Amino acid sequence: MDLRISQATSRVTFHDSSVADYHQQWMIQFSRNYSNESEKQMRLKVFKKNLKFIEDFNNNENHSYKLGVNEFTDWTQEEFLATQTGGLSGINLTSSSEVVNETMPSWNWNVSNVVAESKDWTKEGAVTPVKSQQGCGKLAETINCNGKGLTRIVQGKLLPLSEQQIVDCDKINGGCIEGRATDAYEYIVKNGGITTDLIYPYQAKEGSCRSNISPAMKISGFGNVPENNERALLEAVSRQPVSVGIDARSASLLHYKEGVYNERDCGIDINHSLTLVGYGTTKEGIKYWLAKNSWGETWGEKGYIRFRRDVEWPEGMCGLAQSAVYPVM
């Protein structure tokens, strides 16, 4: 049985022995160990349920995307949401930050402006490799992805900035609990900048803030893309990577493997941050956003996802057009 995660589906016949064998191979591939046989059987049950969900979805040809196994396939939906998302639900999407008001750049947001038909900042050296934030630092990775991209665009170099500094020192965002991008950017402004990952390495948990560290990058502020406006968002992403919030509660998102994610029931109640790093159109004519996530390379298209672009509702797919923020140097 081929267990390569590049496959969109496992194509397993759902007999207990077949799934048990497949689960055992999956455990080896992902170095998964359980504390006892009882836990293993419980995880096997969850694994089988998720595998059935993946198979049933992929057997329906009326989708622009596929699901597949990844390192989270033995997790329940509740466990996944509790550890990989959180902290953004119910936020006020209208920021009152005085930093935003004082440093809003001079973009006139003329949405009739002509932008390139496609953009991929990963191909221009403005995006660092995908990380797994291991249940912590999800917002920090999104913020730093944008900061790194901006330094590459403006200064010609890609700095590995410190997610851990935001986790430890930005107390408004609650350490490992995900918060608002605007608050994290405001911390960077008021702190006088942010240092590199080499000086302040990632620990995947909240620690004591290390003060008096010289910054490697400074920003003068940040700006908000006009909300519920995918055309304005297109202009923003054509200029630099942009932080967005999404509703990550859809079960299909946990198991997303490839293609353009197009789920009408995805929702718009934001609870997770990621970074838009490009956009384009498939050969079938489907417009999409290219987003970098923080769930590791076994999830999605090596850690990335393509969301359908220009949907019928103003909030965007999974609400991604509601709260988009970018740093300003």
Q: What is the dihedral sign for C-alpha 290, 88, 92, 142? A: negative
Residue 14: CB partners within 8 Å, gap ≥ 6?
Answer: 48, 51, 52, 55
Same-domain pairing of 23 and 135: no
In a domain, 86, yes or no: no
Q: Which domain holds residue 315?
A: 98-328
Phi, psi (rounded to 5 degrees) for 67 = -105, 165
16-29 vs 37-58: helix axis angle to the nearest 10?
Answer: 100
Find out whether 293 and 238 touch, Cβ atoms under 8 Å: no
- Residue 255's contacts (CB-CB under 8 Å, 6 or more residues apart) are 50, 53, 54, 57, 67, 68, 69, 70, 72, 73
61 occurs within a structural domain: yes
Q: Is the dihedral of CA 88, 92, 98, 102 positive or negative?
A: positive
- CA-CA distance, 27 to 177, in Å (whole number)? 29
* 216 located within any domain: yes
* Domain shared by 259 and 128, yes or no: yes
Is 11 domain-assigned?
no
Q: Do 123 and 268 fall into the same domain?
A: yes
Give the pLDDT of residue 14.
55
Do the beta carbons of residue 58 and residue 66 sit within 8 Å?
A: yes
Whole-angstrom Cα distance, residue 12 to residue 319? 34
Contact yes or no for 242/236 (Cβ under 8 A): yes
The CATH number assigned to the domain holding 33 equals 1.10.287.2250
Count of domains for the chain: 2
User: Among 59, 74, 89, where does a domain finish?
Assistant: 74
Specify if 5 maps to a domain: no
Boundary-marking domain end, from 31, 59, 74: 74
Pair 37, 139 in one domain: no
* Interatomic CA distance for residues 165 and 202, integer angstroms: 8
Q: Minimal CA–CA distance to 66: which of 4, 7, 111?
A: 7
**Residue 89 forms part of a structural domain:** no
- 51 and 160 in a common domain: no
Torsion of CA 31, 258, 53, 29, to 10 degrees: -10
CATH number of the domain at 196, please: 3.90.70.10
Query: Cβ(297)–Cβ(251) under 8 Å?
Result: no
The phi and psi torsions of 245 (rounded to 5 degrees) equal: -110, 145
Structure tokens at 177: 């609990």
Same domain, 135 and 222: yes
Same domain, 32 and 134: no
Q: Is the residue at 1 inside a domain? A: no
The reply to whether 21 and 127 lie within a common domain is no
Query: Count of H helices and E strands in the chain?
Result: 9, 9
C-alpha 244/C-alpha 178 separation (Å) is 13
Pairing of strands 304-308, 272-281: unpaired
Residue type, 5: I
Instruction: Give the closest residue to 188 by CA, choosing from 206, 177, 172, 201.
Output: 172
User: Do the Cβ atoms of 302 and 288 come closer than 8 Å?
Assistant: no
Indicate whether this model's pTM tops 0.85.
Answer: no
pLDDT of 87 reads 45
Q: Could you tell me if 275 and 154 lie in one domain?
A: yes
Whether residues 153 and 300 fall in one domain: yes
Cα distance between residue 279 and residue 316, in whole Å: 14
Q: pLDDT tens for the chain, 329 residues: list them.
A: 344 433 434 455 556 679 999 999 999 999 999 999 999 999 999 999 999 999 999 998 889 999 999 999 999 999 998 888 864 443 434 433 434 433 344 455 555 566 789 999 999 887 877 876 665 544 555 554 554 444 444 444 556 777 788 888 877 655 565 556 777 778 888 888 888 888 888 777 788 888 888 888 888 888 899 999 999 999 999 998 998 999 999 999 999 999 999 998 899 999 988 999 999 999 999 999 999 998 999 999 999 999 999 999 999 999 999 999 888 87
191 and 250 co-located in one domain: yes
| Rounded distance between C-alpha atoms, residue 198 and residue 203, angstroms | 12
pLDDT at 143: 53
- Beta strand pairing call for 304-308 and 256-261: parallel
Residue-level pLDDT at 89: 43
Q: What pLDDT does residue 213 have?
A: 85
Residues 47 and 108 in one domain: no
The answer as to whether 90 is a domain residue is no
